[in-house]
A and B are shown apart, each in its own frame.
Chain A
Amino acid sequence: MTQSFLLIFQPKNRAGRRPRKLVALAMCLSLMVFLLAACGEVTPTDKTTGLLINEVFTGQASDGVQWIELLNNSDTDLALEGYRLDTTRGTLDVSGLASANGRGLLPKGAIVVFSNAPKQVNDQIYQLLYEAAPTDADKANIRRPLLPISESKIIGKLDPNKDFVVLKGTDGKVVDQVGWGGVDQGVRASLGADSDINTNLPTPKYNDKSLGRTPQFGQRPANDPGQINPGPFTLHNTPTPGTNTTPRSLISRGFVLNELTNAIAAIGGALLWVAFFIIALVAKRFETLSEQKTYWQYLMAAPAGIFIYTVIQVQDFVRQGSLSDFWSWPAFLALFVSGVACVYVINIFRLIAKNILQSE
Chain B
Amino acid sequence: MVFGDYFYNPLTSSPALFLDFGFLFLAIALFWFARILGELLEIIQKPPLENMVRVSGWLLILTFSVPHYLARAVIYPNLTADQGLWTWLFIFRTFSSVGALVAAILALVPVYMYWRWTSK
Contacts and interface: CB of A to CB of B under 8 A. Distances in A.
Interface of A: 32, 35-36, 38-40, 128, 132, 202, 212, 214-218, 220, 231-238, 240, 246-251, 253, 256-258, 260-262, 264-265, 267-272, 274-276, 278-279, 281-282, 285-286, 305-306, 325, 328-329, 331-333, 335-340, 342-343, 346-347, 349-350, 353-354, 357
Do most interface residues of chain B lie in helix, strand or loop, or is the interface mixed? helix
A345 to B, nearest CB: 8
B49 to A, nearest CB: 12
Contact of B81 (A234, A249, A262): A234
Interface of B: 1-2, 5-7, 9-13, 15-16, 18-19, 21-26, 28-29, 32-33, 35-37, 39-40, 43, 72, 76-84, 86-87, 89-91, 93-94, 97-98, 100-105, 107-108, 111-112, 114-115, 118
B15 A246 contact: no
Nearest to B12: A217
Contacts of A128: 83
21 contacts: A39-B10, A215-B80, A216-B77, A217-B12, A217-B77, A218-B77, A218-B78, A237-B83, A250-B83, A251-B86, A257-B90, A264-B101, A268-B98, A271-B104, A272-B100, A281-B115, A282-B40, A329-B15, A331-B19, A339-B21, A350-B32
Nearest to B118: A285
A234 B29 contact: no
Given A217-B9, A234-B6, A336 B83 contact: no
A346 B29 CA distance: 6
A276 B107 CA distance: 8
Contact of B83 (A247, A276, A281): A247
A235 B5 contact: yes
Do most interface residues of chain A lie in helix, strand or loop, or is the interface mixed? helix
A278 B108 contact: yes
B2 A232 contact: yes
What 4 A-B pairs are tightest by C-beta distance, nearest first? A339-B25, A249-B86, A268-B101, A271-B104
A275 B104 contact: yes
Most buried by B among A240, A246, A286, A346: A346
A35 B10 contact: yes
A212 B28 contact: no
A279 B7 contact: no
Given A251-B86, A353-B39, A257 B107 contact: no
Contact of A336 (B5, B19, B35): B19
Contact of B25 (A247, A250, A340): A340
B14 to A, nearest CB: 8
Given A128-B83, A339-B29, A268 B104 contact: yes
Nearest to B108: A275
Given A261-B94, A272-B26, A329-B15, A216 B32 contact: no
Contact of A282 (B10, B107, B114): B114
Nearest to A244: B80
